[in-house]
Chains A and B, each alone.
Chain A
């Protein structure tokens, strides 16, 4: 009775606990989200940087093969003869660098220096698409 008359009704016991629990929850969620977002972006950035490095490694190998061709020797794996050669250097599991080059002594002309996908491509045949045929 005395409390009711004189007191200022301070916050009930547990008020600040509730506040702190809520705040800690929020902060934890923010921290987790930050980490998750940053890790995800870093993974894609890593993949991009790795792809570039892979391409240059294959590119350097292809140039090495070309140098050998220019010096007269035909390395293993190179097809063709009489000046026109073609070969392929793997870039990664799903890509390879295909080269077609015309060599004439020490001179050369590059016809193709193309990165090509070697991954299995499964056409999606679940829909019956009209192929243009009449009857």
Chain B
């Protein structure tokens, strides 16, 4: 008669609720960690892709069409676009000014619209006479 069953049941019920609460909080932490980790990995790849593109552009003397022909990707109205494992990287050349040609490189991860990483590069252009 003095069974402990209802007491134990009560206790278990309360513990289930406590555990559910704690688990919910911890799962949030895991999800956040996962998101940060993914974003960091995506950015690492974007940095390498953007760097390579910038260097290839410089090696071709700032000629995007020549660079695209040699290293892949497509050029359209001065915008050189290339795919990399994780997204797309593009280089947009600005106007020459005082013998200096500048361009901006943007790496966009697959499924995003905002650039994950951007660089500004410059190289020598034909001198103005």
Contact = CB atoms under 8 A, between A and B. Distances in A.
Interface of A: 2-3, 7, 10-11, 13-14, 16-17, 19-20, 23-24, 27-28, 30-32, 34-35, 37-39, 41-42, 45, 48-49, 52-53, 56-57, 59-60, 63-64, 66-68, 70-71, 106, 108
- With most chain B CB atoms within 10 A of its CB, the pick from A30, A38, A52, A59 is A38
Q: Is the interface of B mostly helix, strand, loop or mixed?
A: helix
Nearest to B118: A53
Contacts, number: 108
Nearest 4 A-B pairs (CB), nearest first?
A31-B29, A106-B127, A60-B122, A67-B100
A58 to B, nearest CB: 11
Contacts of A60: 102, 120-122
A66 B36 CA distance: 41
Contact of A48 (B19, B26, B30, B44): B44
Contacts of A30: 26, 30
B72 to A, nearest CB: 21
Interface stretch (B1-9, B63-71, B79-87): B1-9
